[in-house]
Amino acid sequence: MKLLSKSALSVAIVAAMAASATQAESVTIDPSLTLTYKNYYWKEDNKTKTTSERDEWVHALVADFDTGYVNDMVGAVVTVGAADSIDTLDTSKGSTPRNITNLATGDDGKANGIAGVQQAYLKAKYKVGEVALKGTYGVKKRGYELYSDSGSRILAASTTGLDLSASGYGFTVYGAQIDGHSERNQSTLNADLTNKAGKKIDKLQIFGANYNVAGVGLTAEFAKSTDYLKKSFFKADYSVKIDDNMSVDLDGRYSKAEEDGSLYATKGFESSFINLNATLNYGPAFVGLGYNKTKDGDYDNGFFNNDYGKMNSSLAGWEDFSLEDEKAYIVNAGYDFADMLPGLKWDLWYAKGKDAKNVKDFKRREIGSYASYAFDGQLKGLSLSWLHINYRAEGTRNGAAVGGLYDRNVNRFYLKYSVSVF
């Protein structure tokens, strides 16, 4: 609770910065300050006793300040937040392993609140003819095809670095260099990238391009963490409009990961996957099918230790369906109830994996549901959502347990309320 008081002080500081910006002589376009309160309750039952259970009720206060672009060229973004426990399991007690994931865990096994700056970065843009140039530098939540900072916890992870892009004539080319990160359940503003043994990784570099024309999209991206892991990613997508109420989206993806130096534990490691998807959209509803095949090794998605990003596949579910030679399938559907109850949406999916190499008695399946409701009117800014996962997986490799194979029931409830101060 004390941390939320500290957050209120941080909010006041950000508000003062905002007031100064709006009173300055230089032209600031559309500065904004948004306050968000979050309240999450997560209940996760460990059915196989091989992974930890969770029972967390936490809340957080976050302030986002954006200067807009001064003279339509430069600006800054600052996000501060704090999170604390309302009622969370003590991990030092009980016969079943327990885990705290939204907050830090103290030496006594209890949840410790976290607080700090989630984002603090400069931004700039400039247009040359039909080409738009953009750049950011600092601490921010990033998202690319091969790397994305985790936003699944009550306070998001972030990374420190530089981002540049140029867009025009249907093309976008971009690049980024990342040399530090902040974990999703820690107060640290910036920490070194390391491998699992704690040795420093100098940087993560990302380069990519995409092209869009007449409903066709093409994307290529390459990423490399120094002396550790390198990856490539390619995607082609196509959208077909059948009539005013119906369309079909198609996409195919390919990615390859390879060991790239002495900091990676498995010499000669490589793995790749191919992912094919088709989605039929009909009015407020959709139904989709997806297929994923992994080969040459278990796909490794982490560019550094505690990189919690998912592989860029429709089969990146509760766990990635990405063991060597695993064939995985997904059927999903969703409906937007805008005509009956505006703000209500519901998505469902079923995924199944089979044929993982050298995994005895391998089985894997996931049943999932995500329902959300965004209020309007006087309660605009308030949203409620519920994630339910029923995950079942089993199998051993050379008599030992395989990561990601266990049974788990997941229920996560989210309440968010955002207010625009200006």
For the residues of 133-174, what is the DSSP string, one character each?
A: EEEEEEEE--B-SS-B----SSS--EEEEEEEEEEETTEEEE
pLDDT given at position 51:
66
Measure the CA–CA gap between 299 and 305, rounded to whole angstroms: 15
Q: What is the pLDDT of residue 365?
A: 98
Nearest partner of 283 among 346, 237, 335, judged by Cα: 335
Residue 85's nearest CA partner among 107, 64, 121, 115 is: 115
Report whether 39 contacts 83 (CB < 8 A).
no
**Using an 8 Å Cβ cutoff, are 225 and 214 in contact?**
no
What is the reported pLDDT for 140?
96
> For position 28, what pLDDT does the model report?
58
Answer yes or no: are the C-beta atoms of 223 and 147 closer than 8 Å: yes
Distance CA 147, CA 125 (A): 23
Residue 16 pLDDT: 42
pLDDT at 46 (0 to 100): 81
Q: What is the pLDDT of residue 8?
A: 43
How far is CA 40 from its chain centroid? 17
CATH value of 244-252+260-422 in 3.40.50.1000, 2.40.160.10, 3.40.50.2000, 3.40.50.1970 = 2.40.160.10
Question: Cβ contacts of residue 113 below 8 Å, gap of 6+?
Answer: 2, 3, 82, 83, 84, 85, 103, 104
Report the pLDDT value the prediction gives residue 99, as an integer from 0 to 100.
Answer: 85
Q: Tell me if residue 355 falls in helix, strand or coil.
A: coil
Q: Decide: 270 and 293 in contact? Cβ < 8 Å.
A: no
Task: Enter the tokens of residue 395.
Answer: 């199998």
Q: Could you give the residue range(s) of every CATH 2.40.160.10 domain in the chain?
A: 1-191, 244-252+260-422
Residue partners of 4: CB distance under 8 A and separation at least 6: 59, 60, 61, 82, 84
Phi, psi (degrees; rounded to nearest 5) at 175: -155, 160
Dist. CA 299–CA 230, nearest whole Å: 12
Q: Token pair for residue 214?
A: 């007449």
Architecture of domain 1-191: Beta Barrel (2.40)
Please report the sign of the dihedral spanned by the C-alpha atoms of residue 190, residue 76, residue 155, residue 335: negative
| CA contacts within 13 A on the Cβ side of 61 | 13
User: What is the reported pLDDT for 62?
Assistant: 98
**Which amino acid is residue 93, in one-letter code?**
K
In order along its 422 residues, the chain shows pLDDT tens digits of 444 444 443 444 444 444 444 444 556 578 999 999 999 999 998 877 666 789 999 999 999 999 999 999 999 999 999 999 999 988 877 666 678 999 999 888 889 999 999 999 999 999 999 999 999 999 999 999 999 999 999 999 999 999 999 999 999 999 999 999 999 888 889 999 999 999 999 999 999 999 998 889 999 999 999 999 999 999 999 999 999 999 999 999 999 999 999 999 999 999 999 999 999 999 999 999 999 999 999 999 899 998 987 899 999 999 999 999 999 999 999 999 999 999 999 999 999 999 999 999 999 999 999 999 999 999 999 999 999 999 999 999 998 999 899 999 999 999 999 999 99
**CA–CA distance from 202 to each of 110, 182, 226, 248, 253 (Å)?**
33, 15, 6, 43, 29
**pTM of the shown model:** 0.89
Residue 379 DSSP label? G
Nearest to 10 by CA among 187, 183, 151: 187
